[in-house]
Amino acid sequence: MLMNLGLIWMVIAGGVVFGVAYMMSLMMESSIGREGFGPFAHATFIFLGFFGAILIANHQGISLHELKWALVYGSGGATALLMTMLVLRAVFMRLGA
């Protein structure tokens, strides 16, 4: 799915995903606070998880021709990566303190 996009559409898709991710991470920052990585890092994890999950699904042969399935897979990947990173940070902070 992503490989079929032109450069302009890829930039637009990346900008939209990163913009939404940054707004979400600003909202999360108020509840997570010092326990997190900061809004820009959270947005980066969401961005990488979103597109990473779509790329992995395409590599596994899962067809994401419909936008709703791409959003489902992307959102799941973004959530999984962000929560994994937050849990790892919590474990390392607990072991280090």
The per-residue pLDDT for range 9-31, each reduced to its tens digit, is 999 999 999 999 999 999 999 88
Domain spans, the chain: 2-96
Q: How many Cβ atoms sit within 10 Å of the Cβ of residue 84? A: 12
Alpha helices in 1-97 (DSSP H): 7-32, 39-59, 67-96
CB within 8 Å of 47: residues ≥ 6 apart: 14, 17, 18, 21, 78
pTM summary value:
0.89
Q: Rg of the Cα trace of the chain?
A: 15
- Tens-digit pLDDT profile for residues 27-75: 999 888 888 899 999 999 999 999 999 999 999 999 888 889 999 999 9
The closest alpha carbon to 21, from 50, 46, 53, belongs to 46
